[in-house]
Amino acid sequence: MFEKNVKAIIYHDGEQYCGKCLEIDVFTQGKTVDEVIKNLEEAVSLHLVGVDPATYGLAKEPSLLIMIEAELQHAYA
């Protein structure tokens, strides 16, 4: 069974937003969440050009599943 999604996480490193895929070796950055999502879409597409996605255990036309790490605002002191 092949995975339908390439999973990626977006987090803020203190300066920029970073996007990192979990199944394939793709990492990118951006000034905004929207920019890093666009960069992830492009980087994943380019990474898979000419490669059978099954090599990575992925379905023929995988989609991108993005998780965003967000800091919690603590309401207690």
Strand bridging mode 58-68 / 17-21: unpaired
pLDDT band at 75 (very low <50, low <70, confident <90, very high): low
Query: Between residues 69 and 27, which one has the greater pLDDT?
Result: 27
Q: State the amino acid at position 32 in one-letter form.
A: T
pLDDT in tens, 22-56: 999 999 999 999 999 999 999 999 999 999 999 99
Q: How far is Cα 60 from Cα 4, in angstroms, rounded to an integer?
A: 8
Domains of the chain in sequence order: 3-68 (3.30.2390)
Q: What single letter denotes the amino acid at residue 42? A: E
Q: pTM of the predicted model, to two decimals?
A: 0.85
pLDDT digits (tens, 9 = 90+) for 48-58: 999 999 999 99
Spell out the SS3 assignment of 10-61: EEECCCCEEEEECCCCCEEEECCHHHHHHHHHHHHHHHHCCCCHHHHCEEEE
